[in-house]
Amino acid sequence: MLTIRRLSIEDARTLIAGARAKAEEIGVPMCIAIADESGQLIAFERMDGGKITSTIIAQDKAYTAAGAKRTTESYGSASQPGSPAYGINSAIGGRLMVVAGGLPVIVDGDVVGAIGLSSGTPAQDTQCAQAGIDHFLASRA
């Protein structure tokens, strides 16, 4: 039997709060998704004005970051033409996201879930996702 650590809904709210604060600060309404360590959705918020397409993309970024235990951005470089993971972006029915904005949430070395943002530029999505994680880790300190 294995013992797994996983984000709670309270943790998910904290992650969203941190990401949302940054999104408001930069003035970009975001879709924010939190997945557990198995890639299953725990919480989701679409800020007023967040993009419809991003409701799916944010979830899939969180799914990918949790399931593959790496940032979606890292897949972006690994899947460029000529690179080893080229073509992986269409895997799992297209759910495997290689666009930046999905980050695993790591506690004591374990991936316990992930956060996925979408609606801004990939750089903005990543910035807000990181802000969510920073806020979450600070709340645990």
Please report, as ranges, the residues that interact with its own copies according to CB under 8 A.
1-9, 11-12, 36, 38-48, 51-57, 60, 63-64, 66-69, 75-76, 79-82, 84-94, 96-100, 107, 112, 121-123
Minimum gap (Å) between residue 65 Cβ and its own copies: 10
Greatest Cα pair distance in the chain:
46
Minimum gap (Å) between residue 107 Cβ and its own copies: 7
Strand order in the sheet with 31-36: 41-46, 31-36, 110-118, 102-107
In whole angstroms, give the CA distance from residue 49 to residue 20: 13
Please identify, using beta-carbon distances, which residue of 72 and 131 lies nearer to its own copies: 72
Minimum gap (Å) between residue 5 Cβ and its own copies: 6
Please identify, using beta-carbon distances, which residue of 68 and 131 lies nearer to its own copies: 68
Minimum gap (Å) between residue 20 Cβ and its own copies: 9
Strand partners, 114: 35, 104
Please identify, using beta-carbon distances, which residue of 11 and 133 lies nearer to its own copies: 11
Please identify, using beta-carbon distances, which residue of 11 and 135 lies nearer to its own copies: 11
DSSP 55-103: HHHHHHHHHHHHHHTS-HHHHHHHTSTTSTTTTGGGTGGGTS--SS-EE
**Joined tokens for residue 47:** 């800020």
